[in-house]
Homo-oligomer: A and B are copies of this chain.
Amino acid sequence: MIIDRLIQAIADMQNPTAVGLDTTLAYLPDDMRAEVRDCKGAADAILEFNRTLIDHIADIVPAVKVQVAYYEAYGADGMRAFGETLSYAKRKGLFTIADCKRNDIGSTAAQYAAAYLGATEVGGRERQAFPADMLTVNGYLGTDGIAPFAELCKAGEKGIFVLVKTSNPSSGELQNLKLEDGRTVYECMGDMVERWGADTVGTYGYSAVGAVVGATHPEEAAILRKRLPHTFFLIPGYGAQGGNAQMLRCCFDGRGLGGIVNNSRGILCAYRKIGGSYYDAARQACLAMKADLLSALGAICAK
Give the interface of A toward B (CB within 8 A). Answer: 22, 24-25, 36-39, 41-42, 67, 69-70, 72-80, 82-83, 101-106, 108-109, 111-112, 114-116, 120, 122-123, 127, 129-130, 138-145, 163, 166-175, 177-181, 185, 188-189, 192, 236, 241
Contact A174 B145, beta carbon cutoff 8 Å:
no
Beyond A75-B83, A112-B72, whether A39 also contacts B129 by CB under 8 A is yes
Closest beta carbon of chain B to A241's beta carbon, Å:
8
Query: Please, which residue of chain B has its CB at the minimum distance from the CB of A167?
Result: B105
Provide the bound-state CA to CA distance between A257 and B210, in Å. 42
Stoichiometry, as copies per complex, reads 2
Beyond A24-B111, A105-B167, A177-B188, whether A130 also contacts B37 by CB under 8 A is no
Contact A38 B168, beta carbon cutoff 8 Å:
no
Query: Please, which residue of chain B has its CB at the minimum distance from the CB of A240?
Result: B107
Beyond A102-B101, A174-B185, A180-B177, whether A74 also contacts B122 by CB under 8 A is yes
Closest beta carbon of chain B to A282's beta carbon, Å:
19
**Among the interface residues A22, A78, A170, which one has the most CB atoms of the partner chain B within 10 A?**
A170
| Interfacial chain B residues near A177, Cβ < 8 Å | 179-181, 185, 188
Contact B122 A39, beta carbon cutoff 8 Å:
yes
A-B contacts, 9 of them at CB < 8 A, read A37-B122, A70-B108, A73-B120, A76-B77, A76-B80, A141-B174, A144-B169, A145-B166, A185-B185
Contact A173 B185, beta carbon cutoff 8 Å:
no
| Interfacial chain B residues near A78, Cβ < 8 Å | 129
Contact A74 B123, beta carbon cutoff 8 Å:
no
**Among the interface residues A70, A80, A174, which one has the most CB atoms of the partner chain B within 10 A?**
A174
Contact A69 B180, beta carbon cutoff 8 Å:
no
Task: Find A168's partner among B41, B76, B144 (CB 8 Å cutoff).
Answer: B144
Contact B101 A103, beta carbon cutoff 8 Å:
yes
| Interfacial chain B residues near A188, Cβ < 8 Å | 174, 177
| Interfacial chain B residues near A80, Cβ < 8 Å | 75-76
